[in-house]
Amino acid sequence: MRSRHLLAGNWKMNLGPQQAKNYAHQLRETCKDLSKTDVWIAPPDVSLPGVIEELRGSPIMVGAQNVHWADNGAFTGETSPSFLQELGCAFAIVGHSERRTYFGETSPVVAKRAVGAIAAGLTALVCIGETEAERVGDRTEAVLEEQLNPVLEALSKDTATKLVLAYEPVWAIGTGKVASLDEISQTHAFIQKVWARYSLNAPCIVLYGGSVNPSNFEAILSLQEVDGALVGGASLKADQWLELIKIAERV
C-alpha cells in the first residue's frame, strides 16, 4: 500500500499542442497544493513540450503514453526514453491495452519498453488486464501472470521501485462498465501475490483503471488493495478530473 494516492490521467490521442497547453494552464491554477495525492498526466507526445513548460514548478508530473527501449537508433516513429527524460517527463505508460490490441504489442516487448524507460530514469506505468472473454472463461489470473512475468523477471531490486502497475480490465476501458469492488480487490490481491514471488524488495503499487469517474472513484480508492487510478475519459474533462483529485485528497 502506497502512503500517497496516485491519480494518473491518460489523454490518449486527444488534445493537440494548443488545447493541451490551455488545459494544463487551467490545471496548474487549480492544483497548487496536493497533500496526499500524486497527480500525473500523459498527453500525446507532440503536446508534451507545451504541457511540461506550463506545469513547471507545479506538483503535477507529466509523462508519455508509450516509450521505446533504446536511447536512439533506426526505429522510425518511436520515442526514446532518454529524449523524454531530457524533455522533463517523469514517467511513461507502457503496455496499455490499446497498444496491445491495435499495435500488436506482446508482453515481452512491453517488458523491454519498461526496462528501457526505467534505465533512462523514468517510472514505467505498466498496464495489464484481461478481455471480457478471458474473464468469462476464468482465465483472468493466467492472462495477468502472462503479462506480468516478463516485466517482473526483467527487474532487479534496484529498479523495481520505478515500476507502477495499472490493472485495467479491457472490458471496462471506455465502456462505462466498471469492475465490481470484489473483482478489483481480488484481482489486485492476486497481482500483489505474483509480485511477492519475485523478492523485489519494493512495494507493489497497483492502480485500477477502466471507466473511473467521480461517482465510482471513492469506493474504489477506499479498497485496501488499490493505490490509485489510471483514468482516460474523465481526465479530459476539467470538472471531472478536478473532482477526482478532490476525492483522492479526501479519502
Complex with ligand PGA: residue 194 or 230, whichever CB lies closer: 230
Q: 75 or 103: whose CB is closer to ligand PGA?
A: 103
Q: What angle do CA 129, 130, 133 make, to 5 degrees?
A: 165
- Here's the x/- map for ligand PGA, 138-177, by CB under 6 A: it reads as ------------------------------x----xx---
Measured from the CB of residue 57, what is the shortest distance to ligand PGA in angstroms? 27
Separation of first and last alpha carbons in the chain: 14
10 binds ligand PGA (CB under 6 A): yes
Binds ligand PGA by CB under 6 A, chosen from 79, 80, 211, 240: 211
Our finding on whether 233 is near ligand PGA (CB under 6 A) is: yes
232 binds ligand PGA (CB under 6 A): yes
Question: Residues 14, 103, 71, 206: is their CA dihedral positive or negative?
Answer: positive
**14 C-beta neighbours (distance < 10 Å), count:** 16
45 within 8 A of 79, measured Cβ to Cβ: yes
Catalytic residues: 96, 168
H helical segments located in the chain: 17-30, 48-54, 81-87, 97-102, 107-119, 132-136, 140-154, 181-196, 217-221, 238-250
Select the residue interacting with ligand PGA from 79, 210, 227, 241 (CB under 6 A).
Answer: 210
CA-closest candidate to residue 202, choices 165, 158, 167: 158
230 binds ligand PGA (CB under 6 A): yes
Binding site for ligand PGA (CB under 6 A): 10, 168, 173-174, 209-212, 230-234
